Amino acid sequence: MRFGSGLSGDTPGDHAKLSTHRGSVATRCADQLPPGQTRWSSPLPPTVPKPVLVNALARSFLGGETSVEGIVERAARTLGRNWRWLRPVARHFVERFGGQVRPTRRTVSTFIIQDPTFHRAWTNRATTLTIAEWAAGTGGMQPVAAAVDWPIPQIPSAGELARWLQLSASELQWLADLKGFGARSRIAQVQNYHYRILTKPTGNLRLIEAPKHKVKMAQRQVLREILDRIPIHHCVHGFVKARSIRTFAAEHVGKRVVLRMDLSDFFPSIGRHRIQALFRTAGYPELVANLLGGICTNATPRSFWNPLASGRISLSAAEAIAEARQLYLRPHLPQGAPTSPALANICAYRLDCRLTGLAGSAGAHYTRYADDLAFSGDSEFNRRVERFANHVSAVVIEEGWSVNHRKTRIMRQSVRQHLVGLVSNQRLNVAREDFDRLKAILTNCLRHGWQSQNREAHRDFRSHLDGRVTFVESINDGKGKRLRKLFDRIEW
């Protein structure tokens, strides 16, 4: 119990009349209240708005077009009265979010709570603010200005999304797995992916996540009907029709200097929140965007990583497993899903725009194939290429990725300039060692039989070799013809 002291109000120094009253804070404050009422029985001043009311207002704000009149009309229906403070709050909302990607309901709720006009209204009229009507619907499709002409299907609700994918509501929730039940489950039948680990040359791990049939069918429809209809940057050559590693490297042939850089963990670095924001940019309501983002992303189950880390392994292997586990446990773009390449290219649109502009200011040309970045130029670019690489790294970090500096190469004409396995010094060509290796395999097939050369146990070794020869023909017709003659003489 804390005690306080109160003076009688008489002049200090008049010790005969000076008195001291000791008592608790509650007792002294109770003296100022009416009889029969204590400080603890009086209601506290309302400072924190009720979450239910704020949520209802957020629904009304998002339930239609982002205009002051529309927001005021919907919010007035929600509250049952057109309060005077609604218009300034609506005006603040339009100034903050007008013309941008539709915000999430949580973002709007936070905005409402922090708005000073609403805070004053709540403080003065908390007891009279009630919910008269809940806003119906999600406001339909609301694309940003740049996405208005995208020829994508109109899906205004979760029910429409389930019908579009030919799924039941429960199947849609299971495939999207927004609550992460599959990541926490130890039962493989509940999980939507098969997993396989590959070891990179650096010792780090790459996880291949192959979707099971049901989620793969849904992803293919999303890819075919939505993602393939969204434009990407012209500098992109990976996973694009009519483009390949040949078109990627051909734009850097005969340049005085070529700069090659690599993005670390290109797919898993893209989180679910970025994918959901992309679908909201296209105009889909928050719930529909969340479900589409859930279908296209995955969080690796903890039960997959625990057996790998429990055995007797080296320190470097343990560090690689820990790093990969931290990266793949979060919802991310799975490497192996049919939607991941297209989504990665779309998410990298701003990165490509900035790097194209940066390259132009330095007198260079820029192209990208998946996670491989290539810049090339002549004498002007040659003088500033080292400093230019630092600027590229800064832009990449600002856009949510990181550069694998071990793979950065500055290649001038005096050395072999190679991009994605192709040489680009004077003309586009295959690397000499790759040509000699394939030629030796074909020659040994003639001498010792093709079975002796199928060391990796390909199911259709003939088609495998035919594809490799065809690739060389597409790059260098002369070398390709020499290999084709050897291939045609093999007895299968």
| Euclidean distance between CA atoms 63 and 57, whole angstroms | 10
What sign for the dihedral angle of Cα 110, 116, 118, 121? positive
The amino acid at 342: A
Based on its alpha-carbon atoms, the radius of gyration of the chain, rounded to whole angstroms, reads 32
Question: Can you spell out the DSSP letters for 294-355?
Answer: HHH-B---HHHHHHHHHS---HHHHHHHHHHHHHHSS-B--BTBTTHHHHHHHHTHHHHHHH
Q: Give the closest residue to 484 by CA, choosing from 439, 453, 452, 440.
A: 439
Other beta carbons within 10 angstroms of residue 404's beta carbon come to: 17
**CA–CA dist 459, 473 (Å, integer):** 23
The answer to whether residues 198 and 317 touch, using CB atoms and an 8 Å cutoff, is no
Cβ neighbours of residue 362 closer than 8 Å, sequence gap 6 or more: 377, 380, 381, 384, 388
pTM, to two decimals: 0.84
d(CA 332, CA 299): 6
Name 114's bridge partners: none
- The rounded distance, in Å, linking the Cα atoms of 478 and 472 is 9
Strand boundaries in 13-61, DSSP class E: 20-23
Question: Digits of tens for pLDDT over the chain (492 positions)?
Answer: 444 444 444 444 444 444 444 444 444 444 455 555 555 555 555 566 789 999 999 999 999 889 999 999 999 999 999 999 999 999 999 999 998 999 999 999 999 999 999 999 998 888 889 999 888 767 789 999 999 999 999 999 999 999 999 999 999 999 999 999 988 888 888 899 999 998 887 777 889 999 999 999 999 999 999 999 999 999 999 999 999 999 999 999 999 999 999 999 999 999 999 999 999 999 999 999 999 999 999 999 988 887 765 555 666 777 888 888 899 999 999 999 999 999 999 999 999 999 999 999 999 999 999 999 999 999 999 999 999 999 999 999 999 999 999 999 999 999 999 999 999 999 999 999 999 999 999 999 999 999 999 999 999 999 999 999 999 999 999 999 999 999 999 999
